[in-house]
Amino acid sequence: MTPSNYSKTQIALHWIIALLVLFQIVMHDEIARLWSGRMDGTLPNAATPNAHVAVGFLILALAAWRIVLRFKRGVPALPASEHPALKMLASGTHLLFYVLLIGMPLSGATAWILGVESAAQVHAIAEKLLIALIALHALAALAQHFWFKTDVLKRMLGRA
């Protein structure tokens, strides 16, 4: 199914998840401190509850909801005028976002709950990839609006 726009729920989920992800990236000092304390033995090796973990699980639940909606309702097509290579880049970026939105909470949980150090390394590498993708994605959204003059940004703001 190919609807002509995003639903209100899809739009709300996009921006709420984006804000929560930015929160996770900017406010990571506490979890990094707790984790290194657990690893060097200065803190008990226990999966204590904290904001990073709670927000991370919230992102997992919202991302799962979003993926279900994507299958059930569908998403609008990329602009017909867009070069096939750019279309592939956009679809690849979106797919990788979904992989990271599910993979980051799972690798984080494996590190935090089961104490697996290699999962924490995967989590930290995924973070770098996520930051690069966000930069690319935000630039592409602005380029669509100001350079290519499509309605791609407007439709994610509910104004198309």
Q: Where along the sequence are the contacts to ligand HEM (CB under 6 A)? A: 14, 17-18, 21-22, 24-25, 28, 31-32, 35, 52-53, 56-57, 59, 70, 75-76, 78, 90, 94, 97-98, 101, 104-105, 108-109, 111-112, 120, 123-124, 127, 134, 137-138, 141-142, 152-153, 155-156
Closest approach of ligand HEM to the CB of residue 17, in Å: 6
Q: Which is nearer to ligand HEM, 28 or 148 (CB)?
A: 28
Closest approach of ligand HEM to the CB of residue 147, in Å: 13
User: HEC states along the chain?
Assistant: CCCCCCCHHHHHHHHHHHHHHHHHHHCCHHHHHHHHHHHHCCCCCCCCCCHHHHHHHHHHHHHHHHHHHHHHCCCCCCCCCCCHHHHHHHHHHHHHHHHHHHHHHHHHHHHHHHCCHHHHHHHHHHHHHHHHHHHHHHHHHHHHHHCCCCCHHHHHCCCC
Q: Which is nearer to ligand HEM, 22 or 132 (CB)?
A: 22
Q: Which is nearer to ligand HEM, 22 or 46 (CB)?
A: 22
Closest approach of ligand HEM to the CB of residue 83, in Å: 14
Q: Which is nearer to ligand HEM, 89 or 155 (CB)?
A: 155
* φ, ψ for residue 115, nearest 5 deg: 70, 30
Q: Which is nearer to ligand HEM, 18 or 89 (CB)?
A: 18
Closest approach of ligand HEM to the CB of residue 128, in Å: 8
CA distance 64 to 85: 28
CA distance 114 to 88: 37
Closest approach of ligand HEM to the CB of residue 8, in Å: 14
